[in-house]
Amino acid sequence: MRVKEIMRPVKVISPDASIKEAATMMNKSSIGSLVVVDENRKVSGILTERDILQKVTAVNKLPSKVLVSEIMTPKVISITSHALIDDAVYLMMKHKIKKLPVVEDKRLVGIITATDVVANSSEIGQFYLFG
């Protein structure tokens, strides 16, 4: 099975948006992350609920005064849509991540999450799940 078969549309945000805007978008869409992209949909980072909790809320910063670019994780592990699901599982486990942006020609085309993988686990190699 290939990544393109289970990837989903992805919500994006600009690095210049405020954390308040990001949190509102995440809450409204019931999602735990946003991929940060430039005007050409090239990935420049990822913003997660944990980033907001640790870098804004826990240190008592005002979400309306903090920009996404200030707290996002700039080094993003990604995968192509033609890669095997086993490869996606390997990357998630190796890097201890739950979300994997899908890119083609350096442009964002979707996302695959640990939840997507589990939902399709009957198609995934047993080595990665139970090895």
**Confidence category of residue 70, pLDDT binned at 50, 70, 90:** very high
pTM: 0.85
Rounded-to-integer distance, Cα 23 and Cα 90, Å: 29
Q: Are 68 and 13 in contact (CB under 8 A)?
A: yes
Please state, as a whole number, how many other Cβ atoms lie within 10 Å of the Cβ of residue 69.
15
Q: What are phi and psi of 36, to 5 degrees?
A: -95, 125
Q: Which of 19-23, 63-67, 74-78, 118-122 has the lowest mean pLDDT?
A: 118-122
- List the chain domain ranges: 3-130
Collapsing DSSP to helix, strand or coil, 105 comes out as coil
Using alpha carbons, list the distances in angstroms from residue 27 to 48, 55, 66, 96: 12, 18, 17, 24
120-131: per-residue pLDDT in tens?
876 555 545 454
| Cα first-last separation, the chain | 19
pLDDT for position 120:
81
CATH node for 3-130: 3.10.580.10
Residue 101 has pLDDT above 80, yes or no: yes
Collapsing DSSP to helix, strand or coil, 122 comes out as helix
In the block, tokens 């979300």 appear at 99
Rounded-to-integer distance, Cα 40 and Cα 108, Å: 9
42-66: per-residue pLDDT in tens?
999 999 999 999 999 999 999 999 9
Tell me which H or E stretch contains 72.
none
Residue 109 has pLDDT above 60, yes or no: yes
